[in-house]
Amino acid sequence: MRSDTMKKGASRLPHRSIFKALGLTDEELKRPIIGVVNSGNELIPGHMHLDKIAEAVKAGIRMAGGTPMEFPAIGVCDGVAMNHMGMKYSLATREIIADSIEAVAIAHPFDGLVLIPSCDKIVPGMIMAALRLNIPSIVISGGPMMAGRFDGQSIDYSSCYEAIGKYQKGEYTGEDLKKIEDEACPTCGSCSGMFTANSMNCLSEAIGIALAGNGTIPAFYSKRLRLAKTTGMKIMELVASNTKPRDIITMEAIRNAIAVDMALGCSSNTVLHLKAIAHEAEIDFALELVNEISGKTPNLCRLSPAGSHHLEDLYFAGGVEAVMNELLKNGLINGGAKTVSGKTIGENIAGAEILNKEVIRKVSSPYLKDGGLAILWGNLAPDGCVVKRSAVDPSMYHYKGKARVFNSEEESLEAIMNGKISPGDVVVIRYEGPKGGPGMSEMLAPTSAIAGIGLDKDVALITDGRFSGATRGASIGHVSPEAMAGGPICIIEDGDLIEINISENKISLLLSDGEIEKRLKSWQPPGPKVKEGYLARYSRMVTSASEGAVLE
């Protein structure tokens, strides 16, 4: 056993003494020792109940003959960090999470790991650590939040931002805002739309690192506690068979995850995280693969913010398993891929049927014939950029407009909220990339403000930052190279024409090559926004969004 390194033989008497101080018995020390990484905290609704999940996991480990040892991982709530300095730290915490788990799991050589995330950067950060360590590992999330209700309609976290725009227009009263505030996020769990957290938890099933149901069983269901116990038992099987994350997360698993991503209409952030996961797995994943798979994988779901359905609806309609089975029947995923269940994808999803054909459509009658995400290229983004196509009104698939340029999210939001943006504009927000932000802020506030004032079908937004999974509209992020690295987005001026063609995967700054070259020669990078601390180090070390924004 790997844990023998810290517990077996006469030379490890001091180590065993430390374990005895923790209350461990000789019998517990004989068993495989499983690290239980719990990101539970009192900061995030998705994590407030993870103490219960962890207890269930540990019960499962003990039932199967192992000894669990729990330790924490940090977590930032993107919803609370949104639209202020805190958002610059959100993506950057993904690397802290991966690094800290690596450090603990090598200092304390566990035989296996159970990873308990729930939200946004924490899910990929934990998967990245598992791949880096490459010891038997499995993921169990805290599950999704239920949707709220207002005025007879389902609402969620993103509804809060759009409500601000409607309030500015006089469509909502102060009393309406208070009701939405009280009802939009009604339970524990990761916010109820197909935002980044739920996207990554669903894709963890598709990629094979979590058991079926991980992405959709509601957070407060006892069924999730049973899944957690099963997960605890399952890690013991993975340890016994020495099945490691890199045995499971292969190129075929990545391809499966992208196909499920396209069918579900996941957050654009999944591209960033799947790139980083592939990097840790030593898999060469080029962005062209997204469009290749998107071109043949239809979009089968319209979950918030793209539509009115939420994760609970997906759960009752058959879950990720039903989506995957529909894809498998049509030859769109590989059913032979290995998973942590000990069975193949095909075996896991056998018999899973669509129970609501509006929530999950058949391949023969999809919402879109192409997938939910698209990568665009052109002289504005030579290394690519990402759009959540399923959340864009088809009238905006081919769009030409005049640039309105802002050097920060705050500048853009002030202009939007004060009526300075007009139909036909392309809002350009730059110096918000991994290096320039630093930290690649999510732009939910400006995109939701545009939607809230009714301009989401008349205005596009382009940024070298990124978007929350709650974003809808013609919002194009991850523009690479970013402005701070001298990408062409840095030389756009007010009034320049920009053409977006989502159908043809193109984005163009309508200037001559000579003019672009002339402007780039005269461009000087601004000084760093943050000059000390972790973010300053992160800014110096982080790679482009097109490479997953991993650290060099």
Residues linked to residue 506 through DSSP beta bridges, in sequence order: 377, 501
The answer to whether 480 is a known catalytic residue is no
Structure-derived torsion over alpha carbons of residues 307, 309, 310, 311, reported in degrees to the nearest 10: -110
Beta-carbon contacts of 44 under 8 Å, excluding residues fewer than 6 positions away, are 75, 76, 77, 80, 118, 119
Task: Extract the tokens encoding 427.
Answer: 């809002």
**Separation between Cα atoms, residue 155 and residue 150, nearest integer Å:** 6
Inter-residue contact 186 to 112 (CB < 8 Å): no
Specify whether the CB–CB gap between 445 and 475 falls below 8 A: no
Show Cβ contacts of residue 98 under 8 Å, excluding neighbours closer than 6 positions. 125, 126, 128, 129, 132, 280
| Residues near 329 by beta carbon (within 8 Å), at least 6 away in sequence | 363
Q: Which amino acid is at 496?
A: D
**Nearest alpha carbon to residue 37 among 24, 26, 22, 47:** 47
Q: Are 523 and 80 in contact (CB under 8 A)?
A: no
Q: What distance in Å separates the CA atoms of residue 136 and residue 117, rounded to the nearest whole number?
A: 17
Q: What gap in Å lies between CA 173 and CA 166, rounded to an integer?
A: 9
| The one catalytic residue among 294, 304, 468, 475 | 468
Tokens of 267: 């957050």
Would you please indicate which residues are annotated as catalytic (active-site) residues?
Answer: 468
